[in-house]
Amino acid sequence: MKRITYILLSLFCAITTYAATYKSVNEIKMVYLEDSTRYVCNPDGILSEDSVAQMDAMIEYLEDSTSIQIVVVAVEKIESGDCFQFATDLGNLHGIGQKKKNNGLVILLSTKDRCIQFATGSGLEGYLPDAICKRIQNRYMNEALSQGLYDKGMTAGVRAVCGYLDGSMKPEIDDEGGDSDIFMNILGFLGLTGLLSWYIRRKMKKCPNCKKIGLEKKSCTLLAETSTYKRYEDVYVCKYCGQTVKRPYTIATGTRSSGGGFSGGSFGGDISDPGGHFGGGHFGGGGAGSRF
């Protein structure tokens, strides 16, 4: 009996001291990719649902108004203990932030390593300089975090960051000159289609006998009909040499001569695809970190 208690006790101790440890940035699941209104990755359940919802709301507003993409990650332990490298690598792996603006931000909390790190995208460094990152951490986060009040510290920090970045930039559509691009593409496409159809029709009018473009359709007769298809025969006569050409063909009943249209895709965020996309932003090592 004593032995069993001893074993159970040591197991219990082992379990409680076990901290979810992350070795590679691949192991953190990005909730944003599944739901574009969620930015806080909380795999170890460190933060309460309430504060997660609060932070999500603030960050969503910021993304809508400025196109800045923020991801918050709260974990227990990172194997390397290097919060700076982990946060920067996370940002680069997923390409957080817009491609041209590089305005991503990763906020990483590791409770057992006792570090909080802001990693700013290379385009965000001017708007949220290292010194400000440090200031936010010192003023709003470090004390609460050191006391284990993770919800309080993180929410205050996110609020400060969003407040600081509010109105800092406009969410322009990333492809400037994209408008004229699409126009030219459509024009080119129509031109090509027109050219192609002209060429095909011309070919069809070519007389096999005298090689001139003189065939004219004289009649079109229905040869046979079943429930699934109809068989026609067109008779063409060349106006130069009088050559007669017969062209039989089959049409499936119910088809129309023009092809179907194409359905366009959307850039994510509608009912069929609620997941978000990271813009492909780049991180150069900016930001600041604190140990608490």
Partner 1 sequence: MNKTTLIVIGGLVALVFWAIGVYNGLVTKDEGVKTAWSNVETQYQRRMDLIPNLVNTVKGYAAHEKETFEAVIKARAEATQIKLDIDDLSEENLAKMQAAQSTLSGALGRLMAISENYPELKANEQFRELQAQLEGTENRITEARRVYNETAKEYNTDLRVFPGSLVANIFGMKSHPYFKSDEKASQAPTVQF
The site for partner 1 (CB under 8 A) is made up of: 84-85, 88, 129-131, 133-135, 138, 283-289, 291
Nearer CB in complex with partner 1: 140/283: 283
Min dist. Cβ of residue 63 to partner 1 (A): 24
* CA–CA dist 108, 77 (Å, integer): 11
Min dist. Cβ of residue 118 to partner 1 (A): 10
Min dist. Cβ of residue 134 to partner 1 (A): 3
Nearer CB in complex with partner 1: 146/244: 146
Tell me the pairing of strands 21-22 and 77-78.
parallel
Min dist. Cβ of residue 79 to partner 1 (A): 18
* CA–CA dist 280, 98 (Å, integer): 6
Please write down the HEC assignment for all residues of the chain: CHHHHHHHHHHHHHHHHCCCEECCHHHCCCHHHCCCCCCEECCCCCCCHHHHHHHHHHHHHHHHHHCCEEEEEEECEECCCCHHHHHHHHHHHHCCCECCCCCEEEEEEECCCCEEEEEEECCCCCCCCHHHHHHHHHHHHHHHHHCCCHHHHHHHHHHHHHHHHCCCCCCCCCCCCHHHHHHHHHHHHHHHHHHHHHHHHHHHCECCCCCCECEEEEEEEEEEECCCEEEEEEEEEECCCCCEEEEEEEEECCCCCCCCCCCCCCCCCCCCCCCCCCCECCEEEEEEEEEC
Nearer CB in complex with partner 1: 138/244: 138
Nearer CB in complex with partner 1: 171/284: 284
Nearer CB in complex with partner 1: 127/283: 283
Min dist. Cβ of residue 166 to partner 1 (A): 22
What residues pair up with 75 in beta bridges, in sequence order?
Answer: 110
Nearer CB in complex with partner 1: 88/111: 88
Min dist. Cβ of residue 289 to partner 1 (A): 8
Nearer CB in complex with partner 1: 129/171: 129
Min dist. Cβ of residue 283 to partner 1 (A): 8
